[in-house]
Structure 1
C-alpha cells in the first residue's frame, strides 16, 4: 500500500512537471477537469498504475495520452456534442447491475445494422455512457453486455467492437469487470474468436458467453429483463443526466472544424514573378524533394510554395499515409523562407482521430520542422481520404514562445493576417507500396483489418451457401408433401374403383 501511494505521488509530480516544462500537445492545453483529477484524485491515478501492472513509465505514458485524447475528443463536454436522436434510439444504454453489483452497459445489437447511420455518432454515444457511468459509479468497473438476441451478420460491426475494446485498453484503465455475450448465434462464433484476440489476457478471462439458462450466473434475477427471460419489465427511455456543475463550453468544444472545398480562407496567391522569385530563394536555402519510383526511373520535384506565408510545405497537396509497423503515419515538412519569424499551427477536421506532433510552434528564418501525423488506435483507414488538414501561419516577434504563449497567440488570432493552406489525405495502394519498397506485401504483414475483411468475405460466402441449402431443403419438403398427397389421392381412387367393381360384379351374378 505504501509503495503504490509513492507511485501515485511520483506519477502526479512527473505529469505536472512535464506539463509545466513542455506544455500539452494541444495548444489550448489539457481540459481543466482532467488537470484537476490529476492533482486531486488518487483513485484515478491508481487505476493507471494497476492497469499497467505497477509499471510507472507505462502508466505515465497512458495518462498523458489519455488527457490528450480527452481534450481533442471533447469527452468532458460529450453531452453537448453527441446527437440526441442517437442517444434515444436504444442501441446502447445502461440499466441494472451484474452479480458483483457493477453497472451494466448494454448494447442491443439487433438495433444496429452495419453501414446504416453514422458510426462516429455511435462511438460518441459509447463515450457518453462510459463518461456518465464513470461519474455515477465514481470510477468503479462496469460490465459490458452484448445482447445478441435475433441478430445476424448484418448486425455485427467489427469496427465498432474494436473501438469499444480500444477505449478500455487505452483510455479507461481498470474500468472493465465482465464482457457478457448473451444468446450469440452460432454463425458469429468465429467472429468472436477474432474479437478475443484483440483483448488483453485479463479481459479474455472476464468474457462470459451465456444464454437464458446460464445468465443467472452473471446477472441477478431482479436485474434480468423480461426479454432475457427474467422478471425486470424495464423498457429503455432516455433520461438526460442531471449534473450540478456542468462544464463551461469553450470555443473549441462548441464546434468541429470543417474545411469545405468552397469555404472562404485567407489563402492568397502570388503572381508568377513573385512565385519564381520566392521559389529561387527557397531552393537556395533548402532543397525539398520527393522521390518517386516509376517504370522509367527516378525523378525529383520540389514542392510548390505556400501562398503568401513564406512557408515551403512538403507535400504541397496531399499527405501520403503508410503503415509504420502497426501504426498508420504520415508527415509534413515546413520551412520558413522569410526574413522574419513565423508561428505555425496544424488543425484537422477530426482531431480525435489523429495524433499530431508538434501541432504548433515557431520557425526562425531558414529553419524547418517535420510534423508527424499518426492515426489513433480504433479508427479505420478506409475513411482517411475524406479527412483534411489545415496549415496556418502568421508572423511573430519572438521564436522562444512557451506552449502557453503559443496557445494564447492562436486563441487571439482573429483579425490577424493568418495564412491558410489545405492538405488532403491519401493511402497508397498495395501495388504502390510494393513498388516503393521493392517487394510485395506478405501474409505476415497483413493487419487485423485485412483479416477481418477476409473473415467477413468467408462468412458471407457461408451465409449464401446456407441460404441456398435452406431453399433446396424447403423445396424438397414441399415436393415430399406433394408426393404424399398424390399417393393418398391415387390410393383413394384405386380403393374406390375396386369397390365399384365388386358392387357391379355382385349385381351381375344376381341377375343371372
Structure 2
C-alpha cells in the first residue's frame, strides 16, 4: 500500500513541475508577443489615434477612408509616427495629419498597377525585388535610365511613390531598403528635383520604414552632385546612407537575390509589365500634351526599350505572380469538358489528349478591341495529363506584345486563358510568332529559381515540349467602320515607320555631335597644355638670361699683372 501512495506522490510532483514549465513558457511567449507594443507607447498610440479621428470627423473630405481604416486598426502604423517624433504626441499628430492629407491629395491609396505606362515597367529602371540579408525588401533605382522630362515628372513621381507605398504595405512598415544603382550614370541623368522629392516623401510620409539607402558604383565624376545631394539629406537620414561597389555589395544582398545587372543570378523578371497597362503616348494625350510633345518624349524611351528587348530575348526571366514568390497556379475551369474535344495536343511523341492542349493550335487571330484600343486575342491552354505542367510563352517580337499570364503551372485537368495584346503604338509584322513550351513537374509549388531551372537542367530538357503559333491580323474590326479603322491603322503604321526612320537619323546626328564635342574638348585641353608649356619655356629662358646678367654684374673682378 505504501508503494502505491509513494507512486501517486511522485506522479503529482512530476505533474506539478510539468505544469509550472508550461506556465513559464506561456508567460515567455506572452512577453515576446507584447514586446512590440510596450506600455510606454500603448497609451500614446491610443491618444494619437483619438486625436486624429476627431480631426477626421471634422474634415472628412481631406482624407482617404482606406488610410483612416489603417489608423483605426493598425497600432504599429500609428506608433511609427510617434517614434519619428520621439513620442511627442503633438508633433506626431501634425505629422500623421499632414501625411494623410498628402496621401489623399496625391491619390496614393487609389493607385493601381495599370495606372502607369508599360514603358515604365519594361525599361526596368524602378522596381521592387528580392530581400536583402536582413530580410528587407529592396527597391532598385537605376539612375542611368532616368531622364529629366518636364512633361513626365509628375507621372514618374507617382510611380515612385506607388512602388514605395506598395512595398511599405507588403512589409507592414517593418523594413525596406533602397538601392541607387549609379553605374553608367552621368550628369544628364541627375535630377535634383526628383531626389529632393524622394527625400522629403521618405522622411515625412513613410516614418521608420526605411532601413538604409545603398549607393552602388558612384563614379568620382559625380562627386560634385554627391556633395549637393548629401546637403539635402536630413541629419537623421545620414546614418542610413551606405556606399558599395562590386567588391562589397554582397555584404548587404546575396548573389541569388541580386538582379543580373549587378552581378546577381536571380531570374525574377524585373521588367514584368502588368496586364492592361496604358502607354506613354496615351498617358501624354490624357494629360493634354500635343503630338509635338509626344514626338519629343518617345525618343527618350526607345533606346531603353531596345535594351529591354535584347535582355528579354537573351535571358530566361521568371515573372513573380504573387507575394509568396510562388509561380502562378491556374485553377480548374468549369468549361474544361466543353472545350476538351477542340484542343489539339502539342506533344508529338506522346498520344493526344495526354499532355498539353492548345486552342487555337495554328494561328492566333488578332482582333481589334474598342475597350483596350488595340488588337488582342486569347489562347487557351489545358493540362490533359495526370501531373502538373509548367509552361511559358515566348515571342520573337516581344517588344510589340503584352502576354498575361506569360508563364505558370497548370494542375491536372485545369486550363488557363492567356491574353495576347498587340501594343497599339507598334506596327504589326507578318512574321510575328509565339512559342509555347511546357514540361511536366512533380510539385505545383515552385519558387522563382526552381521554375527557371526547369528549362536548363538536363533531367528535364528531354521532357520539354514546344508548339509554335503564327499570327494574323484580322481585317474585321467592327460591323460599321471596319474599313475606315483599318485604313487609319495602316496610315498610322506608315507614319510610324517614317517617324522611326527620322528618329534614327536624329540619334545618329546626336551621336556625331557628341563625338565632335568630345574631340573639341580634347583639342582645347591639348592647346591649353601647349600654351602653358610655351609660356613656361619663355619664362624660364628669361630667368636664365637675367640670372646670367646678374652673375656678370656682381662677380668679383680679377686683375692679372705681368711681372
**TM interval, short-chain normalised:** 0.3 to 0.5
* Higher RCO (C-alpha under 8 Å, 6+ residues apart): 1
Q: Which has the larger radius of gyration?
A: 2
Structure with the larger helix share? 2
After TM superposition, the score normalised by the length of structure 2 is: 0.42
TM-score (norm 1): 0.46
